[in-house]
Amino acid sequence: MQAEPPVIVTSGDAIVRRTPDRAFVTIAIETRSRNPRDAQKQNADAATQVQQRLALAKLGPDAIRTLGYHLEQEFEVVPSGRIPREYLARNSIEVRIDDLSRVGELIDSVVRGGATTVAGVRFEIQNRAAAEQEALRLAVADARSRAEAAATGAGLIVDRVLRIEDRREGIIFPQRPMVMAARSVEATTPIEPGLIEIQAHVTLTVSIK
């Protein structure tokens, strides 16, 4: 029976930083009324104004999608139970913006149009696959150099790679605080996208001789 060759197991890490070139903004329109139909009507009117402003921005037919629509009655909790209050209508949409210089301008525009909340400004890179592959390549190179250093220290050399395990870390997005929209906006909302970090971590197994 042939003996298994001696091996070295190392790990490698890499971080690739990229400037984002795409943003996703979550916009919500909320209205309240004692009557559910009034709350719904007011919300529809406000949402139409927001949609019209987004249409004027010419973001593209696939740049806007609805995240959810809710119509529910609010209650106040008291020691004796619950007291019914107004009905809340909420329409949430997500907008993709490929020109980051326009993010602040578009936020201000939808607020003027009737949006009550702007939240979850999230930045991405369009060619994510290339960045992930670059991080993976660098992580493997890091693991290989560690294996070669370990082998040299033992007076041996790396023979061949037996196994590479990709422990995908994914992309770390810079966190952005929620922006509570105000009805009057005079200055353009400042938006700083920062950098996106793409991390890769691999485990490398090599035989030595």
The superfamily in CATH containing domain 22-124 is Protein of unknown function (DUF541), domain 2 (3.30.70.2970)
Distance CA 22, CA 20 (A): 6
Domain ranges in the chain with CATH number 3.30.110.170 = 1-20+126-176+188-209
Higher per-residue pLDDT: 173 or 13: 13
Q: pTM above the 0.85 mark?
A: no
Which of 65-101 are b and which e, b meaning 16 or more Cβ less than 10 Å from the residue's Cβ? eeeeeeeeeeeeeeeeeeeeebbbbbbbbbbbbeebe
pLDDT at 10: 95
Q: Are 158 and 208 in contact (CB under 8 A)?
A: yes
pLDDT in tens, 137-194: 999 999 999 999 999 999 999 999 999 998 875 544 444 433 444 444 455 677 778 8
Give the position of tokens 């060759």: 5
Domain ranges in the chain with CATH number 3.30.70.2970 = 22-124
What fold is seen in the domain 1-20+126-176+188-209?
Answer: Translation Initiation Factor IF3 (3.30.110)
pLDDT at 186: 52
Q: Are 39 and 31 in contact (CB under 8 A)?
A: yes
pLDDT at 178: 39
pLDDT at 173: 45
Report how far Cα 78 is from the mean position of its chain's Cα atoms: 39
